[in-house]
Amino acid sequence: MEDSIALRKAPFTFDFWLGWIGLVVFMLFLQLWQLQAPLSYSQSGLASGEIWRLVSAHFVHLSWPHVWLNVAGLSVCGLLNPKIFRLKLLAQLAFLSLGISILLWQFNHEVSQYVGFSGVLYGLFLLALWPLREDLFSLLMLVGIFFWALWQWKFGVPAAEQKLIGGQVISIAHLYGLGLAAVWIMFEAYLNKRH
């Protein structure tokens, strides 16, 4: 329990500011230059060999409110556990974004287009909160995030939210993000056990 509280009280280090500011500025830059068309997940684009879309799609957004919602979520994630913004964040971002896109490509043929950071963000929340799980607040947050993702997938996303962001929310991407983050956690645990 003391370890989880210590993690939450971790100082906002240079790594935190570099990671948070870098990611936010990158997403804002892509939105400002309206690069959705060449960077979005697109089945036809992927079929033509445009494989960068597997990763880039998660950093472009439908609208400014869509970007700001994800920036707010990223900020909350960092406030809950500032240590999420470490060097391995780059590997986690690549793993989550690539994994979500591959899963959409393989199992969700009805999704012809996709943009947005929320699937990756759900995964980051799990990665940020898992080390803090002995703390009741963090555990309740984890349970809440999991059930909210399930609720959205089963019953849909509120129409007001979809209107706000300017398009349909692909809620299965949230579950994929959580599942891939769980795989990351299990793989890290396996590596730590071996050493």
Res. 9 pLDDT band, cuts 50 70 90: low
The letter for the amino acid at 48 is: S
CB 73 within 8 A of CB 118: yes
Q: Please tell me which residue, 14 or 141, carries the higher pLDDT value.
A: 141
| CA-to-CA separations, 56 to 47, 52, 97, 135, in angstroms, rounded | 16, 6, 8, 35
Residues 6+ apart with CB under 8 A from 159: none
Q: Please tell me which residue, 172 or 195, carries the higher pLDDT value.
A: 172
Is residue 39 classed as helix, strand or coil in its secondary structure? helix
- The per-residue pLDDT for 36 is 95
- The per-residue pLDDT for 10 is 57
| CA-to-CA separations, 170 to 58, 162, 181, in angstroms, rounded | 12, 10, 18
Two structure tokens written together for 188: 């890290």
Two structure tokens written together for 66: 């869509």
Residues of the chain with pLDDT > 90, as a percent, come to 85
Average pLDDT of the residues in 58-85: 95
Distance, CA of 37 to CA of 30 (rounded, Å)? 11
Res. 116 pLDDT band, cuts 50 70 90: very high
Q: Please tell me which residue, 3 or 97, carries the higher pLDDT value.
A: 97
CB neighbours (10 Å) of residue 50?
15
